[in-house]
Chains A and B, each alone.
Chain A
Amino acid sequence: MSVLGERVDPEASSNWTTGLRTRLQRTVPPGQILPDRQPVYVASWIYVFGVLSLAAFLVVLGSGGWLALGGVTWWHTSSVGHFVNSLHLWSVELFFAFMVIHLWGKFWMAAWRGKRALTWITGAVAFLASIGTAFTGYLSQSNFDSQWISTQAKDGLNAVGIGAWFNVLNTGQMLLWHVVLLPLAVGVLAVLHVVLVRRHGVVPPIDADVEEPT
């Protein structure tokens, strides 16, 4: 028996699958993962920039995957490859533009209210990780921009000891960070961020806050 007097199935309590399902259901209650209704205050264009950031991230991943199919030097020698590189560049520019507007919008909403601090933190860390991802992309281009940016950037990273482990002059290392480790980090953070948004719901207007005695 549980503390609430319910009968506990000993097999179910030791079942990892049941445990994971229960945990997931607790994290995002049924109906909240993809709700078909939103609070009435969700009525502004600023809300669009979150989903635009997510959409742009998918276009970044898609165009990056397409570049990966052709290999490291493909886009230097093929007009199709160059166009795919252009798709990748502009999707990244749009991704950052949408993300920055989304970030400012959430700042002015004080969107960390109501136990949403972790939602803010995952979003902010995803933004910083995205900067690192884009930066390693510039280092991986194997052209003049890569030469100049890497030789300039090394001094900052070396000055704080990071360069000893994260060598911006090592194109092979930077390329692998760019196509595997950092996109994975941004992707995981984005998923966590969206799950937290769905868990807590969209933050209510600031003036809907109540004041209560302490």
Chain B
Amino acid sequence: MTPTPPVAPSRRHRRRTPDAHSFPTRPYDLVKEFVIALVVVALLTAGLAAVFSSPDEKAISMRDWARAVPADVVATATGELAGTTTTAGYGPPYNDAATGQKLGPLPLQQWGGVRIPVDAAQDLVVTPLSLQSGPPSLGAALTVWSGASQARRTAWATAYGEALAKAADGNPSRVAAGDYGPVPVMAANFLTLARGGGLEGMLTPSGAFYGGDPTRGLLLLADGAYLEDQARARNLGGDQWGMMNETGNYPGQPWMWLYTFWYQIPPFSSSDNADALVWGLMMLLSAGLVLLPFIPGLRSIPRWIPVHRLIWREYYRGHPYSTPGVAPGLPQPRAASDVQLARERV
């Protein structure tokens, strides 16, 4: 097909991209290219896998946590009872303790609703304790706890939490005497339960046998200091680009660099609404990427910065244009045929 001759630029004009099928062609074997690509990628993948393997650091169990830093387990259980942990005061989707973050005036977190209800004290501590066959003192402590008012429970647990914070190494045996109600007994038995390795199963909402949803266990683990300490020791902290990295010297998720980047700089790094702001910004940027063809200015960047001269350099050798920035019109069939003939000779 012979292309339409170029039209002289007018004062009011628009660009039109010619039909790809109107250009001269040359032989091209798509299937061969694909098969070669598949073989190359498969071999490259196998080589990388054989040389570098992949990370698989064992998950932290509640038993690991209890044996490594028992004081942290006791402090976390006490915090859940006092309502002072992250989960206890989180808000949606776990509870109504807070309204959550906002994106400008939009309370998106609140709009999501409490769809994964978690009562930190009851679900993460009291229920697991009540499911185990502990000593008589535990039964008595749970009876006192359940018979007390919410204000009384909070007062006991808060006082015990403050006393633990003042004790050397947070050691429960060094806590000053005080009115802590049943909390010390409950916290001590919680530590015993975690040490025994049975805590995970008691945190599964659908029952201990089939555990496909560790939401509660992960919330509890994240409420303690141990998980974050372990992550920071591996340079995975939130301010260490942790979201996109993984353990060991592996590339992780470098395609998430932009998302992680915002958390490293102000105002996001110091904002209480950082998560909502970063997500809002990333949704905006993602929409910009998807709708780039319709955004004036951005869609013209490839014309202003002529990287395309490098990409199509072979074509441009046969079709030089005289005035930069002014379209020269469609390719001339003779010159294009020259390229084709030259290729066929090769």
Contact = CB atoms under 8 A, between A and B. Distances in A.
Chains A and B form a bound pair: yes
Interface of A: 32, 34-44, 46, 48, 51-52, 54-56, 58-59, 63, 75-76, 82-83, 85-91, 93-94, 96, 100, 105, 107-110, 112-117, 120-121, 124-125, 127-128, 131, 134-135, 138, 141-153, 155-165, 167, 169-173, 200-214
Given A156-B275, A171-B212, 7 more contacts: A40-B24, A90-B45, A110-B308, A138-B253, A204-B18, A205-B308, A213-B12
Contact of B54 (A59, A86, A127, A162): A86
Contacts of A200: 20
B307 A108 contact: yes
Interface in B24-70: 24-31, 33-34, 37-38, 40-42, 44-46, 48-50, 52-60
Given A110-B299, A201-B20, A207-B321, A152 B243 contact: yes
B247 interface: yes
B136 interface: no
B238 interface: yes
Nearest to A152: B243
Contacts of A124: 289-290, 292
Nearest to B305: A108
Contacts, number: 347
B284 interface: no
16 contacts: A51-B33, A55-B37, A94-B44, A114-B17, A117-B294, A125-B290, A145-B55, A147-B227, A160-B275, A161-B112, A163-B93, A169-B219, A170-B215, A210-B4, A210-B15, A212-B7
Interface of B: 4, 6-7, 9-10, 12-21, 23-31, 33-34, 37-38, 40-42, 44-46, 48-50, 52-60, 90, 92-93, 100-101, 103, 108-116, 212-215, 218-219, 221-222, 227, 230-231, 236, 238, 242-243, 246-247, 250-251, 253-256, 273, 275-276, 278-280, 283, 286, 289-294, 299, 301-303, 305, 307-308, 311-316, 319, 321, 326-331, 336, 339-340, 343
A135 B340 CA distance: 45
Nearest to A37: B25
Contacts of A117: 293-294
A211 B26 CA distance: 26
B319 A207 contact: yes
A179 to B, nearest CB: 14
Nearest to B286: A128
Residue in A40, A42, A116 with the greatest tally of chain B CB atoms within 10 Å: A40
B213 A211 contact: no
A148 B227 contact: yes
A182 to B, nearest CB: 14
Contact of B308 (A32, A108, A144): A108
A90 B49 contact: yes
Contacts of A96: 254-255
A132 B319 CA distance: 43
Contacts of B299: 110, 112
Nearest to A112: B293
B144 to A, nearest CB: 32
Contact of A147 (B30, B221, B319): B221
A76 B58 CA distance: 9
4 shortest A-B CB distances, which residue pairs?
A201-B20, A161-B112, A114-B17, A172-B212
A56 B39 CA distance: 10
Given A90-B48, A204-B23, A212 B16 contact: yes
A82 B101 CA distance: 40
A206 B18 CA distance: 10
